[in-house]
Structure 1
């Protein structure tokens, strides 16, 4: 049967349209697998399959305050850009001394990165060496008006490598749920915490 030029053009357009649809679907399927791969919601606990993994334990016992606290003769404020963050995106946090006096703190890395579980709040990070590690901390003056700024990509490798000179990993992988950033480095002051929801 002889086919006209119009028939050929119609067939080609349909073929290209179908191929394009398959290509888009493939991209969507791939992107859907790029989200958080860990347990969702509020897991009973955080379980790591690596037997050598030793989870970080928080160096504080007192309750975590909100994002504003008066301590050490001044005021501290911990600010975030929102209460919902997307996996893989950068989260920005700022700790400021908004009071009138200088205070003593334990440096920029005196923080915990925790997830809410059935056992309570647990740090997502730990040592893969089989031995417990402590985070770097050294006393320094935090003058009035001074600020610490963190920009942390919300994925496992970036969270683990944000602390220098420490071999850390995140285990199990992050999952959609409730997390908090806790700064516990205010000498003679309670820890501050900012909660957020991690979504895929």
Structure 2
């Protein structure tokens, strides 16, 4: 069994139970004094082993060996505590955020014994919390303890008390297979480059039709609910910021395609979906899932293909939290009925009929984030 070295090791002692493992925090070391006002080579620390991945896990072990984030206020931790054991909630509640910060680190082990996250070399360097962290079995697994052959996710809180408090985090995380990567709080839980789908074609549209005109009396077109330019593929929530990634996904694509022009070309009746993923390490608030425009590129500009005879396009004013790693989906089919099938407004319809050309989905319930795709006859 591979063992972490004993150098400056910080380990939360844990007790195994039928439902998993919950550790308690212990203080290690005395508060250090930063000579330059921004560094502390030996801050006061305490570790709490969670015994699982509170994030879900929201990250994928094929993309990275773990997940790292830093909390400087109690409310920011709340999204992780939804299914946390009482001991974990207590550890967080016992943290005085006037004097301390909480680092949270997850990794993954090869077997059921590697269920701890072990920290070493903890320091505050130029207002950045630095450390190493490794998925390990710890000393309690020595001897004849049997280790089940199951991939096991582990998480741990590291409380750091220092003066000044660190404002950022950088941790070298090593998983049970020995894969190491330096992670920061800016990395989030997902790599945008590894998401399914594409943002938009990079070639010219197959056709640019004249401005849309519906021959039906009384038809009122859905207005554009955003102003100015859109954000292609990436943006923030209703309150700004960042962390949302939007993609168009072909359900028939096996993931091997690296050509957006081919993957984003749909014939009449073809199914496709739009996926919005929160890749950040914080919940992001968005409007309800009906807040989007679905537009065609025409000679008169981008125009929504949908409308209704009563001209009522009302949306509730609400903020819906999207957890880190969570994906929200919209499913469509490339025809008049399939474009509006999932919308709650039963009176919404397409007029005139869809033509060959370029289309885009604009989520105005967030930071006006858009993706595009082509319809070919």
Contact 2:225 2:293 survives alignment (8 Å): no
Greater fraction of residues in helix: 1
Which of 330, 333, 338 aligns to 1:153? It is 333
Counterpart residue number, 1:163: 343
Alpha-carbon deviation of 1:117? 0.9
Question: TM-score, normalized by length of structure 1?
Answer: 0.72
Q: Over aligned residue pairs, what C-alpha RMSD do you find?
A: 1.8
Counterpart residue number, 2:184: none
Tell me the number of residue pairs that the alignment of Structure 1 and Structure 2 aligns: 157
CA distance in 2, matches of 1:50, 1:150: 28
Counterpart residue number, 1:123: 304
Cα deviation per residue 1:41-63 (whole Å; 9 max; x = unaligned)?
22221010101100000111031
Alpha-carbon deviation of 1:136? 5.3
* SS of 1:134 mapped into structure 2: coil
Which of 244, 265, 279 aligns to 1:98? It is 279
Q: Does residue 87 of structure 1 match 2:268?
A: yes
Question: TM-score, normalized by length of structure 2?
Answer: 0.39
* SS of 1:122 mapped into structure 2: strand
Counterpart residue number, 2:221: 55
Contact 1:178 1:196 survives alignment (8 Å): yes
Q: Does residue 112 of structure 1 match 2:293?
A: yes
Contact 2:236 2:284 survives alignment (8 Å): no
The structure with the largest alpha-carbon Rg is: 2
Q: Which runs of 5+ in 1 are unaligned?
A: 1-39
Greater RCO (Cα-Cα under 8 Å, separation 6 or more) = 1
Q: Provide closer, same or farther for how the CA distance between residues 181 and 91 of structure 1 changes in structure 2, counting only shifts above 3 A.
A: same
Contact 1:126 1:169 survives alignment (8 Å): yes
CA distance in 2, matches of 1:98, 1:62: 25
Contact 2:270 2:333 survives alignment (8 Å): yes
Instruction: List aligned pairs for 1:1-200, cutoff 5 A.
Output: 41-70=207-236, 72-81=240-249, 82-129=263-310, 131-135=311-315, 138-186=318-366, 190-200=367-377
Greater fraction of residues in strand: 2
